Amino acid sequence: MFKLIKNGIGKENPVFAQALGMCPLLAVTTNAFNGIGMGVSTMAVLICSNLFISLLRGFVPSAARIPAYVVVIAAFVTIVELALRAYVPALSESLGLFIPLIVTNCLILARAEAFASKNKALPSIVDAIGMGLGFTIVLAALGAIRELLGSGTFLSETPFEMVLPEVFPRTILMILPPGAFIVLGLMMATLNVMGNRKKSKQTGGA
């Protein structure tokens, strides 16, 4: 079980290893709060859909599995969307259309098809937690970097908001769409360099 969570955060990270869920990743991460909110919302849908798809896997005909999965995912997306509107209206308004679009998130459908439909309930839930945490961590990190560099704030619109002194320059590009591509590219490049160095050390040590 621990390995499933570890894989979702690291080795099989849905963003860095599989390049899934890129649309919301690049669109909503203008600040850390949006990134965390989108990640947690996606993880909640992923956990619930994985659980139900795992429980129903023996009753869904093979030819109808994809439409059935989409219906299950859409039901939980609707629940999450209504909950955000009721309890976190500011986040709901900020994320806007991207909450309903969780239905089309490749990450959720991919885990339903590749894992939940082939495994029991508990492993499916743990897999969803691992993948959801991996996705949320990347969204939060990307949002935090863009917010700090672009706005000079951290966790804006929350009680924990921090503002950098004026001496730190603000780069508006970072909170615009090109900034998302630049920061994500640099994050991926950094991880690739670190991974290659680790492999080189292991090879040299052997």
- Both tokens of 156, joined, read 């804006």
For tokens 């629940």, the residue is: 79
Q: How many domains does the chain have?
A: 1
> How confident is the model over 151-161, as pLDDT tens digits?
888 888 778 88
Main-chain phi, psi angles of 59, to 5 degrees: -110, -10
> How confident is the model over 30-73, as pLDDT tens digits?
888 999 999 999 999 999 999 999 998 888 888 888 888 889 99
- Position 140 scores a pLDDT of 92
Range of the domain at 140: 2-205
Give the residue among 59, 35, 63 at the shortest CA–CA distance from 143. 35
- Position 204 scores a pLDDT of 65
Concatenate the DSSP letters of all residues of 30-77 into one string. Answer: TSHHHHHHHHHHHHHHHHHHHHHHHHHTTTS-GGGHHHHHHHHHHHHH
Amino acid at 185: G
Q: Is residue 55 within 8 Å of residue 94, measured between CB atoms?
A: no
Residue ranges of the chain with per-residue pLDDT less than 50: none
If one counts every other C-beta atom within 10 angstroms of the C-beta of residue 75, the result is: 14
- Position 136 scores a pLDDT of 93
Q: Is residue 112 within 8 Å of residue 69, measured between CB atoms?
A: yes
